[in-house]
Structures are given as C-alpha cells and as structure tokens.
Chains A and B, each alone.
Chain A
Amino acid sequence: MQPRVKTWLFLMPAGLWFLTMLVLPLVVVFIFSFGERGAAGGYVPAFTLDQYANLPARWAAFRNTLTLAPIGTVVCLLIAYPLAYFLALRTTPKWRTLLLILVIVPFWTSILIRSYAWIFILGGRGLPTLISALGLGDVQLINTPFAVLVGIVYGYLPLMVFPIFVSLERLDKRLLEASSDLGCPPWRSFLNVTLPLSMPGVATGCMLVFILLMGEFLIPAILGGGKVFFVGNALVDLFLQSRNWAYGSAVAVTLVAIMLVTVTAYMRFTRRWAGGRDDVSLM
C-alpha cells in the first residue's frame, strides 16, 4: 500500500466521526438559530433575526453566568496559586508526584456526585445547624449564589492548580538564586521574578476555568435550587422542556460567541509573554 493511502485510511474514521458528530451538529445549531419555532415545538425553516432580538428575555441567566463565572475564576486563582507554589517549589520530587495526582484526580471524578455532597454540608442539618449552635444566628446557605460559588470553586480548583504548577515548575531556579544574591528580599524576588514568569500558567488556568464555567449546568441546578441559574440551565429548559429549538440555538450560539471572544483575548494576552508556553495539557 502506498504511504499516502495508508495515512488517509488511518485518518478517515476519526475524521468522519468529527465531521458528523461535531461539524454537522454545530452547523445545524447555527442554521437553526435563524429559524422559527414550530407550533408544537421544534424548528421551522426561516431566515429571521427574531431569536437574537429576543435574547434579553433570558438576560437573568446571562447576568448570573457573567458575574459568577469571573468571580468563581478569581476565587479559584486565589486559592490555587499558593497551593501550586507549594507543590512546585516547596516539596521533594517524590511527594510532588503523589500530591499532584491527589489534586488532579477529583477533577476527573463525577462532578454530579461531588456537587451533591455539598447539599449535605450546606443543607439544613449541615453547616447552618453548626452556625446556629454557635449562636451566630440562622443562615440559609443552600440555594444561594454562595452555595453555587462554593460548588464552582470545589469543582474547578484542580483545573486551576495544574497549569500554574507547570509554569512554576519550569521556572529556572537559578533566577531566584541570582535575585537573592543581588540582595533582593524573598517577597521582592517573588514579585519581580516568580510571579511574572508564572503568568502564562495563570492565564491558561483562568481561561480553562472561565470557559468551562460559562457552560456550567449541574452546579447551579444542584446547589442553586432553581434560584441561581446559568445559561446552561436556560438551555436545558429551552431544549428539553419548552422545546423551542430556534431560540435555544440562538442562546447557544451567543454563548459560544462570548467564549470565542474570551479565547481570542487570552491568545493575545499570552502572546505578550515572549517564551511563555501555552501548551499546558490537562493531564
């Protein structure tokens, strides 16, 4: 067999799979977003911008997503950075691998069940009981933005730690020695050497977490109790309950468009750090 033919044969199954299960569906969503809703739900072909004009009807979902996603990203960053720093610069190599695995592994386990666990902790007989037993008054934690935020940080923290860890571990330790030899106190070495050199990892982590949060459904559904809902919850409602495919498609296209703008901004941002590597994989 000719090498060229063999290459094509090897690429074909994956290529066809990507075309039918990724390209075709995304094109369909794009086309449907310009259509109209059928009388019994579903889709009627048309070319209209009505669905996009109607987007403000779901403004609350966009507002919640666009406030809680950035806040969640920043909180993740603030908690993850010191941990990544500790793992990269303050542990022995033997422990480092084990501790790193322990951070990454929860991310790959069921987010459904891990979010569900917080119903116990934040629900009626969990933390609120403890807080009122301490005489600090009655508080409602579950079904509040706070509960959703806790779920977000809990769910996405590993994804933030890993890229920051990688950029800190690659950092040339001699630079820190040089900085201290030249009389810099540790905090100034950190601000002038460590922090700037870890920025590519910070940017990658923030982008990954932010993007995944934009499409989040489960955490608000489980911990927000219908009061705190994201665009994802609106999409489930539009496609599985009211079966308004055209409008739902417009919401989905808008969501992806917001994400594309974010990714483009990220690419611009990271390119400024010359030599900054953005090939940080998730495993």
Chain B
Amino acid sequence: MRIYALAVYAFLYFPIGVIALFSLNAGRHASQFQGFSTQWYGKALANPFVMDALKTSLTVALVSALLASLFGTMAALALQSVKGRTRVFFDALIYIAVMVPGIVIGIATLIALVTVFNWLNPILEIIWPIADQAPKLSMGFGSLIAAHGLFTMALVVIIVRARIAGMDRSLIEASADLYATPFGTFRQVTLPQIFPGILAGFLLSFTFSFDDFIIAFFVAGSETTLPIYVFSSIRRGVTPEINAIGTMVLGASLAILILAQTILQRGRKQAGGSAP
C-alpha cells in the first residue's frame, strides 16, 4: 500500500522534476542534457516579450483577485441574511460559474463583449464631447480582469461561506451582549474569524488567474499573458527557455498554494473542525 502511494506521488511529481532538471541544461537543445547552467533563467528574464507577458499576467491576477476577494466576501456576508428566491438565484449563479467549462466562458465572453462593444463604440463616438477622440472599447486588460474575476469571485464566496458556517456564533452574541456596535462586532469578532478564508480565497484566485490559459486565450485581445506566451512558444518547439519559465511559474504557484493550504488547515483547527 505504501509503495503504491509512493508510486502515485512519483507520477505526480516526476514531470515537474523533469522540467526543473532540463531548465538547468547548458546546451541549446531542449531534450538533450549537456551539463548544468543557469543561463536560460537569465535569458528568459532578459527577454522583453517574457517580461511584458509577466507584467500583464501579474497585473490581471492582482486586480482580479483583489476585486474577487472584496466583492466575494461582501456577497458571502450578505448571503447569511438572505433567504428565498434571491438566495436560490445566487446559489445557482455560483454553481453555474464553477461548473460551466472555462472554454465556454471564454467564447461566451468573447462574442458577448465584442457584440456589445460594436454597439457601444458608434454611440460613444456620437455623444463624446470632443470629435474623433472618443475612447474605443476593445478586448484587453478590462475583459481579462472581468472574465477571471467571475470564476474567482464564485470561489471566494464558496470558501468564505464555508468559514462563516464554521464560525463560533456564541462569540457574536456575547459581543452584542457586551454592547458592542454591529460594526465593532464585525471588526473585532467576525473579521478575524473569517480572515483566513478571505486570504486563502485571494491566494487561490491569484494563482487561478495567473495560470489560466483557456479563458485568457479568447478574451485577451491584443494583450499577451504569460500562459499565452508559453503556449505559442510550445507550438514552435520546446526550448530550455520555456523550461526555465515553467520552473519559475510552477515554483511560485507551489509556494503560494502551500501557503494557502496551511492557512486554511490552521483556520480549520482553530474552528475546531476535523474534516478537511
């Protein structure tokens, strides 16, 4: 049994190890190992296309994760006191956002936004006070953030709601009995208890957005995110440079994820629950 488990873990981590190993390849042929060197890391970090794509990915991931955490937490808090049709409606939306495959979200967002923009742009041109200077709406940063924010907001609502459900309610009652204002109770009792959930939600949202390829592929417009850059490079053939980028991306997301998991696990222990 133990050997079997080991074999499965080897299967899960071997490919990651292979990429990391080949990223240290001195030779320029990706699949032939010719001694150790870190030159490809330097080359990848000096490549302006890579750095541009990285900047785009980081900006989109940061903004969409921040918005998702803020609005998602607000929605999760408000949903406590909502019942009936609104509740069912929201639950259905969250369920659909998580369940509909990314590729369908991607194409749907693409054709909906392009159609809406095609309507709005002539109108903007007419109503804009200065002639010929009306802004032209197009796919890009905005559509990337909006599309990533959708899935990640649903994720934050789910995680934060789970935290709220596991919260010790008697503390809120105690706080009210001790004449705390509702806001004071929120700041000193509720927020500290749900904060691990918000933080974990933020970190997961960030990694989701940073790693997402399929939605970005459709809605990025003229922008290039790092996964889009990597995908188009793979199409042209494997290079040690891609291995270096891949190793850095995997390393960064592994670090963030282990952090998120640790926060969630510790939060569970504090909440007294044992089930993961």
Q: Is A102 an interface residue (CB 8 A)?
A: yes
* Chain B hits for A11, CB < 8 A: 74-75, 78-79, 82, 86, 90
* Chain B hits for A105, CB < 8 A: 254, 257-258, 261
The majority secondary structure among interface residues of chain A is helix
Q: Is B47 an interface residue (CB 8 A)?
A: no
Binds A, one of B1-9, B38-46, B123-131, B171-179: B1-9
A123 to chain B, nearest CB (A): 7
A232 close to B264 (CB less than 8 A): no
B143-184 residues with Cβ-Cβ distance < 8 A to A are 146-147, 149-150, 153, 157-159, 162
Binds A, one of B48-56, B92-100, B187-195: B92-100
A1-26 residues with Cβ-Cβ distance < 8 A to B are 3, 6-8, 10-11, 13-15, 17-18, 20-26
Q: Is B108 an interface residue (CB 8 A)?
A: yes
B75 close to A15 (CB less than 8 A): yes
A25 close to B15 (CB less than 8 A): no
Query: Which residue of chain B has the shortest Cβ distance to A32 in the bound complex?
Result: B111
How many angstroms from the CA of A168 to the CA of B22 in the assembled complex? 39
B275 close to A13 (CB less than 8 A): no
Interface string of B68-99 (1 = CB under 8 A from A): 00111011011101100010001001101101
* Chain A hits for B224, CB < 8 A: none
B82 close to A7 (CB less than 8 A): yes
A81 to chain B, nearest CB (A): 11
**Residue of A83, A87, A113, A154 ringed by the most chain B CB atoms within 10 A:** A113
Interface string of B235-273 (1 = CB under 8 A from A): 000100010001001100110011001101100000000
A120 close to B254 (CB less than 8 A): no
A10 close to B31 (CB less than 8 A): no
Q: Is A109 an interface residue (CB 8 A)?
A: yes
Binds B, one of A54-62, A131-139, A193-201, A211-219: A211-219
Q: Is A34 an interface residue (CB 8 A)?
A: no
B16 close to A14 (CB less than 8 A): no
On whether A10 and B74 interact (CB within 8 A), knowing A100-B276, A120-B31, the answer reads yes
A28 close to B115 (CB less than 8 A): yes
Interface string of A82-99 (1 = CB under 8 A from B): 110011001000000101
Q: How many B residues touch the partner, as a band?
A: 35 or more
Binds B, one of A182-190, A233-241, A268-276: A233-241
B231 close to A104 (CB less than 8 A): no
Chain A interfacial residues counted at CB < 8 A: 83
A215 close to B102 (CB less than 8 A): yes
B226 to chain A, nearest CB (A): 9
B246 close to A256 (CB less than 8 A): no
Interface string of B2-30 (1 = CB under 8 A from A): 10110011011111101100100000001
* Chain B hits for A102, CB < 8 A: 9, 12
B157 close to A14 (CB less than 8 A): yes
**Residue of A20, A104, A120 ringed by the most chain B CB atoms within 10 A:** A120
**Residue of A14, A29, A118 ringed by the most chain B CB atoms within 10 A:** A14
B242 to chain A, nearest CB (A): 7
B31 close to A3 (CB less than 8 A): no
B238 close to A17 (CB less than 8 A): no
Q: Is B120 an interface residue (CB 8 A)?
A: no
* Chain B hits for A116, CB < 8 A: 19, 230, 234, 238, 242, 246
Q: Is A176 an interface residue (CB 8 A)?
A: no
B75 close to A14 (CB less than 8 A): yes
Q: Is A224 an interface residue (CB 8 A)?
A: no
A70 to chain B, nearest CB (A): 16
Q: Is B137 an interface residue (CB 8 A)?
A: no
Q: Is B110 an interface residue (CB 8 A)?
A: yes
How many angstroms from the CA of A116 to the CA of B18 in the assembled complex? 11
* Chain B hits for A3, CB < 8 A: 81
Q: Which 8 A-B pairs have the closest CB atoms?
A: A215-B101, A25-B108, A117-B15, A10-B78, A14-B75, A25-B112, A113-B246, A28-B112
Please name 10 further chain A to chain B contacts, defined as beta carbons within 8 Å, in addition to the given A14-B157, A117-B19, A218-B231, sorted by A numbering.
Answer: A11-B86, A17-B71, A17-B146, A123-B238, A126-B31, A157-B12, A169-B275, A211-B99, A252-B103, A252-B108
